[in-house]
Amino acid sequence: MLVRGTCGGVLMGLANLVPGISGGTMLLATGIYRSFVEAVADASRLRFRARSVVVLAVVGGAALLSVVLLAGVMKELVETRRWIMYSLFIGLTLGGVPLVWREARPIRASFLGGTGAGFLLMALLAMSSATGAQDGGFLMLVLAGVAGASAMILPGISGAYLLLILGQYERILGAVRDAKNGAKALDFGAVSDTFGVIVPVGIGVVVGIAVVSNLVRALLHSFQQQTLGVLMGLLCGSVLGLYPFADTFRTNRRVAIAAALVFAGYMTTRLIDRFGASADAD
């Protein structure tokens, strides 16, 4: 549990920094997803069982550490190497498809209907991304926090991708980077300057986790096929917001590199899944 929880937490934190990757998918791949959802739902209802507290501490701590340490790096890569990173993101995202498919078996018509609905929703979000909001006030940042929190719970939904659509991705990662640098320099004024972004996002994360975890728990118990179908559609549809990406196909060499990165991303998620299955067997 500790090994899987730590690995899942680190990958979930990285997923929240990367547009296209779902933190929930990473938890599912490492075999810790259901335990995490149950733990979060218990905590939101003030039921602090020992197992739930351990799961939350391990997964949450590992995720927070990876976000703090790597936010600046990921922001820089997305800004300067967008076509390379998005190729990799697409592969990582598609690698989650077999995970949700496996959870849904045996497949029924209700699953396929949910898949169509989820895919349509992501298509609409992708079309709106070209005119997405920029900056925004307190409520927009709270909404961004809720979006990020949803990715911690829902396999197939990328919180970072939703932040891109909302126009808050680079803004939030920049605030995390500035807060980390200010803390390292013991410049508490610089740290406090980031509170205008970090505090409302934090409020949204807490509210989003509490609401989404209990909602997913209830839906998976009562409408499992439909719920997993929607998650599958969201997962497949999230690729629409990453492709086509700027300047990727100017040369045949870039086509080959992009294809290789998509494949590498796909295999990475599949290897994570295999690790999770092996850990469960052990």
**How would residue 133 be classed by pLDDT, with cut points 50, 70 and 90?**
very low
Report, as an integer, the average pLDDT of 204-227. Answer: 86
Break the chain into its structural domains and give their ranges. Answer: 2-281
C-alpha pair distances (Å), 17 with each of 14, 20, 109, 256: 5, 9, 34, 26
Residue 105 half-sphere exposure, CB side, CA atoms within 13 Å?
Answer: 5
Q: Of the candidates 189, 185, 188, 148, which has an alpha carbon nearest to the alpha carbon of residue 166?
A: 148
Least confident of 24-28, 34-38, 202-206, 255-259: 24-28
273 pLDDT more than 80 = no
CA 119 distance to own-chain centroid: 17
Ranges assigned E (strand) in 42-100: none
Confidence band, pLDDT 50/70/90 cuts, at residue 264: very high
Quickly list H helices, 137-249.
Answer: 138-153, 159-166, 169-184, 188-193, 195-222, 224-237
CB 88 within 8 A of CB 265: yes
Which band of pLDDT confidence, cut at 50, 70 and 90, is reported for residue 48? confident
Tokens representing 79 are 């800004």
Length of the chain, please? 282
Average pLDDT, the chain: 81
Contacts of 255 (CB under 8 A, 6+ apart): 248, 249
* Phi-psi domain of 156 (left: phi exceeds 0; alpha: psi -120 through 50; beta: other): left
Q: Which of 209, 69, 222 is nearest to 151 (CA)?
A: 209
pLDDT for residue 166: 76
- What predicted TM-score, i.e. pTM, was given to this entire model? 0.69
pLDDT in tens, 20-42: 667 777 787 777 887 888 888 88
Task: For tokens 């997913």, name the residue.
Answer: 216
Task: Report the percentage of the chain scoring pLDDT > 90.
Answer: 11
Contact status, residue 272 vs residue 26, Cβ threshold 8 Å: yes
pLDDT top residue among 91 and 244: 91
Residue 195 has pLDDT above 50, yes or no: yes
3-state secondary structure of 19: coil
Decide: 109 and 53 in contact? Cβ < 8 Å: no
User: What confidence score (pLDDT) does residue 248 get?
Assistant: 54
- Average of pLDDT values for 168-181? 85
- Asked if the peptide bond before residue 106 counts as cis, ω within 30 degrees of 0, the response is yes
Least confident segment among 205-209, 232-236, 238-242: 238-242
Q: Count CA within 13 A, CB hemisphere, residue 150.
A: 17
Mean pLDDT over 128-150 rounds to 71
* Amino acid making up residue 198: I
